[in-house]
Amino acid sequence: MDPILNVSAYRFVELDDPTAWQARIRTRAAADALKGTVLLAREGLNLFLAGPAPALRGFVAWLREAPAFAALEVKESWSAETPFRRLKVKVKREIIRMNHPTIRPQQARAPALDAATLARWLERGHDDAGRAVVTLDTRNAFEVDGGRFAGALDWRLDRFSDFPAAALAHREALAGKTVVSYCTGGIRCEKAALFLQEAGIGPVWQLDGGLLKYFELTGGRHFEGSCFVFDERESLDTALRPARSV
């Protein structure tokens, strides 16, 4: 097995003082010699970190000691080298920018669909109620170009903040169907699914854990290509291995 553990995780939760968490996380992650990016905002935390497994898993365990992050779920993959050059811990207005303040996943989630159920629906061509299923890719266009679910809707987004306008412009394509929004690790499709619900589109699900969890649990059935990741690995195949050399 490759020696470097890579972890991605997010948690929508109300944080009263993201700046205080910034200092604590930077100190602990630096002490553990971890590299990657941690984003904090009043709506929660989003992180991509890499390092030796004992240190990184210890860091995650430390985070989970705080009530705000006790339910933090992680996606793991491995690489021969650390795919980040430095550690960055930043405070932002949003941990994933949508520019739509009424969408607040930290207060309530849209229904989440597990990987096995989505694979079964795609195999059958419909959901358990017999409705046609549409997979909706909420990633940017260049990410979709590397790989997507067969037949997925792709609205050629330049950035995630374009999603609300695109959803309203294409709502007729979703009428009468069960919509499953998906993204890399789950964070974008959480907000996307909530926006679709707010717009009266439904039934809507978010793919729980995104593509990384789907690959882990299903081997990537019905997915074509690889999944772009925002580090020096560039993309992962459905076995969660680098699809291109670092």
Please tell me the predicted confidence (pLDDT) of residue 245: 45
CB atoms within 10 A of CB 227: 25
Annotated catalytic residue within 25, 29, 183, 240: 183
Distance in angstroms (rounded) separating the CA atoms of residues 106 and 128 = 29
In the chain, what are the domains?
4-91 (3.30.70.100), 112-236 (3.40.250.10)
Please tell me the predicted confidence (pLDDT) of residue 55: 97
Backbone angles phi, psi at 57, to 5 degrees: -70, -30
Please tell me the predicted confidence (pLDDT) of residue 244: 65
Backbone angles phi, psi at 62, to 5 degrees: -60, -45
Burial classification of residue 10, based on how many CB atoms lie within 10 Å of its CB (0-12 exposed, 13-18 middle, 19 or more buried): buried
Distance in angstroms (rounded) separating the CA atoms of residues 151 and 141 = 15
Predicted confidence pLDDT, tens digits, the chain (246 residues): 689 999 999 999 999 999 999 999 999 999 999 999 999 999 999 999 999 999 999 999 999 999 999 999 999 999 999 999 999 999 999 999 999 999 999 999 999 999 999 999 999 999 999 999 999 999 999 999 999 999 999 999 999 999 999 999 999 989 999 999 999 999 999 999 999 999 999 899 999 999 999 999 999 999 999 999 999 999 999 999 999 643
Catalytic residue flag (residue 183): yes
